[in-house]
Amino acid sequence: MNGSRSNSSSLAPLRADTLFLILIGIFAAIASGLTAMVGGAIPLVLCSLPIAAAVVLANYQNGVWLLVLLLPFAATQLVPRQVFGVTGLNLENCLLVLTFSSLCSASLLSREAVRFPRLPLALLVYVALIALAAYRGSGSAERAITLHGQEPLTVRTYLLDSFAKPMIIVIVAWLAAVVSRNGNGRPLIWALAVAYAVFFVLIVGYLVVNGISLHSLASPNGDVMKPRDFLGWTGMHANEVGLMANLGFAILLCTAAATAQPLPRLTLFACAVAAATTAALTFSRGAFFGLAVIVGYYLFSRRRAGQLVLALLIVLGVALILPDAFLERATTGFRTEDTHAITAGRLDTIWLPLLPTFWEAPILGHGLGSTLWATPNLRGAMLPVGHPHSAYLGVLLDLGMVGVPVVAAFFWSAWAMFRRLAKNHADPLWRGVFEGGVVCLMCLAVQGLTDDRFVPTYPQVALWLCYGLALGQAQSTCSTKRTQP
C-alpha cells in the first residue's frame, strides 16, 4: 500500500508538469504562426500574455523571477510603455497583477504555504513620507516647466511618475522578500545576473553596430548642458545607467566571491565584469567614482593573501590595457582646476540657484520633483532641468527638514540589516549578497553627490532587490549562525 501511494504521488507532479509544458508549447506555436502570417508585434503580445499567465499562475515565484529580470529594463525604451494604446497596460504591470493573483491563490489554498515577512517601521514611515511629498507636489505640478521634448506635466502624469513607479519598485522588493522568506530567494540573484548580462550585450552591440569610438564618448559634452546622447535610445541618461550598473556590479561581485562552486562562481564573476564594463562605457565620472569605491572596498576587505594578489593583478592588468579615453574623461577639469568643468556646470547653473529655495518650505519641503517648479526654474534663472542632480540637495528641497532624519533612519536601518546578515548568516552565499548590499549603500552615497535621488528609482533596482531579500532572510529560521556549546 505504501509503495503504491508513493508511486502515484510521484506520477502526479510528472503529469502536471507534462501538461503544463504541452500548454506552453501550444501557445508558443500559435504565437510563432500568427507572427509569421500576420507580422508585427500584436500577435506576439496576444499569445505571449497567456504563456506568461500560465507560467506565473503555476507558481508565484516564477512571476517574481520574471519581474526581477524585467525591472532593470522597465525605465528604458526596450519595454513598451503601453499596449494597444492603453496607458498602464504594459508587460511590467501585467506581470505584477498576475504575480499577485498567483500569490493570493497560493496563500488562500494553504495559509501555511506562504509566510509573509513583517515590514519594519523605518520602511513604513519612509513610504508614508514619500506619499506625503507626492501629495504636496501634486498641487504644484501644473506650474512645472516643460522640458525639451516632453509634454506639459499634469497631476495624473506627475503622480504616475513620482509615486506610482517608485512604489512598483518597492512592491517588487516586497515580493522578493516573500520569496526569500519562504526559502527560494537564490534564483532571484540569477535573474539579476542575467538582466545585467543582457544589458551589457545590448549596449556593446549598439556601440559596435553604430561604429561609436571611445574617444567620442569621452568628449566633455557629457555635462549637464550637453548630455551625451549615445544612450538616448535606452531612455535613460548615462549617469543613471552608470549607477544602475555599479549597484549590480557590487552585489554580483561580492556574491561571486562568496560562492564555493567553480562554475557558478565563474558565471557570477563574468556577469559582474559585464556590469562593471557597462558602468565604464557610460563615461560618467560619477560611475567612475562608484567603480573606485567598489573595487577599493573589495581589495581592502579581502583577508586572504591569494585573493588580494589575484585582485591586484586583475586591477593592474585592466589599468594597463585601459584606453586613454577613460583617463581623459575621469580627469576632465582637474588639470586646469576648472570648477565648472569638474562639476559639469552643476555648481553655477543648478546648485547655487536652487539652494535659497529651501527657505520657502523648510519644514516639509516642496514635494517630490520640486525642481520642475522651483522659483529660479520658473524665472529662467537656472539651467532648465527636472531634478537637482544631487540626491542630498533633492532631500532638502523635496522633503524638507522632516524628511532628512526619516530618510537617514531608513538607510541606516538598511545598512544595519545588511551588516548583521553579512556577518551572521549561516549561508556563505547570502553573506556575500548582503555584503554587496553594504557596498551598494556606499556607492549610492558617493554617486548621490552628483545624481539620482534618495527615494526609489529604477537605477536603484539592484539595491532594492537586495533589501527585499534581506527582509526575507532576516526573518527566516536559518538566517543566523548557531553558536556551538
Total residues found in the chain within this entry: 485
How far, in Å, CA of 307 to CA of 144, rounded?
53
For the stretch 314-337, pLDDT in tens is 656 555 555 555 555 555 544 555
For the stretch 145-164, pLDDT in tens is 888 777 888 898 899 889 99
For the stretch 218-277, pLDDT in tens is 555 444 434 355 666 677 888 888 899 999 999 999 999 899 888 999 999 999 999 998
For the stretch 61-116, pLDDT in tens is 888 998 998 888 887 777 666 555 555 567 788 888 888 888 888 888 776 678 88
* pLDDT of amino acid 214: 59
* pLDDT of amino acid 145: 87
For the ranges 30-34, 104-108, 409-413, which has the lowest average pLDDT? 30-34
> In this structure, what are the phi and psi dihedrals at residue 102, rounded to the nearest 5 degrees?
-65, -40
For the stretch 288-312, pLDDT in tens is 888 888 988 888 887 665 656 666 6
* Grid cell in block for residue 59: 507558481
Instruction: Check: pTM over 0.85? Answer yes or no.
Output: no
What is the pLDDT confidence band of residue 36, given thresholds at 50, 70 and 90? Answer: very low
DSSP states of 42-104 as a string? HHHHHHHHHHHHHHHHH-HHHHHHHHHHHGGGTTSTTS-SEETTEET-SHHHHHHHHHHHHHH
Other Cβ atoms within 10 Å of 143 Cβ, number: 10
* pLDDT of amino acid 392: 93
* Grid cell in block for residue 476: 527566516
DSSP states of 228-239 as a string? --TTGGGTS-HH
How far, in Å, CA of 280 to CA of 416, rounded?
30
How far, in Å, CA of 463 to CA of 477, rounded?
23
What is the pLDDT confidence band of residue 53, given thresholds at 50, 70 and 90? Answer: confident
Does residue 5 have a pLDDT over 50? no
Average predicted confidence (pLDDT) for the chain: 78
**Residue 432 CA neighbour count, 13 Å, CB half:** 21
Of the two residues 24 and 172, the one the predictor is more confident about is 172
Other Cβ atoms within 10 Å of 266 Cβ, number: 12
Does residue 120 have a pLDDT over 70? yes
- Mean pLDDT of the 182-195 span: 88
* pLDDT of amino acid 457: 92
How far, in Å, CA of 41 to CA of 35, rounded?
7
For the stretch 238-253, pLDDT in tens is 888 889 999 999 999 9
DSSP states of 259-289 as a string? --SHHHHHHHHHHHHHHHHHHHHTT-HHHHH
